[in-house]
């Protein structure tokens, strides 16, 4: 893998740090008037998702990380791995439990997910901002209540539990915001 010098640092650059692939969020030059220069780098560890800071001497090199983001369709799970398919090449990619931890409750067949791949294997999988899912379990709907005030828990087909208005019934299709985990509206199509 190629090396990158601090002079090429910019936000979005992927590099290896202590064995983990990382992505630069912010890079600032620290240079007192006539003193040595340093690069103060804020980065995200792509494995753990944690944000941290590292200071390099300007001119130092780091190993670049072979990281890219691709859109893949979720196919199925065998309990150990979750399989995603490239819609063009039909190639299958197996993601482990860690990689799908953040979006497990939003995984639905044929939906498209953003998969961050490191050395061509899935590192993290993130859900689209909105998904449409069917209610599999909730208390019976209250007729006449269309205000959405109050609310009740509803279990969706992926296992996710969201708070929904009282008028929602089993079998209905809902649009859900995966970032907040909140109900948005009734959806018409899958």
Partner 1 sequence: MIPSWQPSADITLLKRRAQYLADVRLFFAQRDTWEVETPILSQAAPTAPYLDSFSCDYQAIGSEQKSRYYLQTSPEFTMKRLLAAGSGSIYQIARVFRNGEQGRLHSPEFTMLEWYRPKLTLIQLMNEVEMLVEQVFNFQGMAKFSYRSLFQSYLDINVFTCSDEQLKICGLKQIPSLADDFDTDRDSWLELLMSYVIEPKLAQLNTLVFVYDFPASQAQLAKIVDDGDGYQVADRFELYIEGIELANGYNELLDADELRQRFDQGNQQRRQQGKTEIPIDENLLAAMSSGLPICSGVAIGLDRLIMLAMKKNSIAEVQSFSFE
Distance CA 108, CA 51 (A): 29
Within 55-94, the residues that bind partner 1 by CB under 8 A are 55, 57-58
Q: Verify binding: residue 161, partner 1, rule CB under 8 A.
A: no
Nearer to partner 1 among residue 31 and residue 190 (C-beta): 31
Binding-residue total with partner 1 (CB under 8 A): 20
Nearer to partner 1 among residue 31 and residue 163 (C-beta): 31
Q: Verify binding: residue 36, partner 1, rule CB under 8 A.
A: yes
Distances (CA, A) of 174 to 74, 117, 134, 158: 19, 30, 6, 12
Q: Verify binding: residue 5, partner 1, rule CB under 8 A.
A: no
**Nearest approach, Cβ of residue 13 and partner 1 (Å):** 15
Q: Verify binding: residue 12, partner 1, rule CB under 8 A.
A: no
Contact 62, 15 (CB under 8 A): yes
128-131 contacts, C-beta under 8 A, 24 or more apart: 128/178, 129/177, 129/178, 129/179, 130/175, 130/176, 130/177, 130/178, 130/184, 131/106, 131/175, 131/176, 131/178
- Among 48, 52, 110, 146, the residue binding partner 1 under the rule CB under 8 A is 52
Q: Verify binding: residue 28, partner 1, rule CB under 8 A.
A: yes
- Among 1, 3, 30, 157, the residue binding partner 1 under the rule CB under 8 A is 30
| Site residues for partner 1 per CB under 8 A | 7, 28-38, 40-41, 52-55, 57-58
């Amino acid at each position: 893998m190629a090396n990158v010098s601090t002079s090429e640092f910019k936000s979005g650059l992927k590099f290896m740090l202590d064995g983990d692939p990382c992505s630069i969020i912010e890079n600032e030059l620290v240079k007192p008037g006539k003193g040595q220069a340093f690069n103060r780098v804020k980065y995200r560890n792509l494995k753990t998702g944690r944000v941290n800071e590292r200071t390099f001497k300007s001119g130092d090199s780091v190993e670049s990380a072979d990281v890219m983001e691709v859109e893949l369709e979720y196919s199925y799970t065998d309990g150990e791995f979750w399989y995603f398919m490239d819609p063009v090449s039909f190639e299958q990619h197996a993601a482990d439990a860690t990689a799908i931890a953040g979006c497990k409750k939003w995984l639905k067949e044929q939906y498209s997910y953003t998969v961050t791949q490191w050395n061509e294997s899935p590192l993290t999988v993130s859900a689209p901002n909105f998904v449409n899912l069917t209610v599999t379990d909730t208390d019976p709907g209250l007729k006449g209540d269309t205000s959405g005030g109050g609310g009740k828990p509803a279990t969706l087909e992926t296992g996710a539990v969201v708070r929904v208005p009282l008028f929602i019934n089993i079998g209905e299709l809902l649009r859900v915001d995966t970032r907040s985990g909140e109900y948005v509206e009734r959806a018409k199509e899958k």
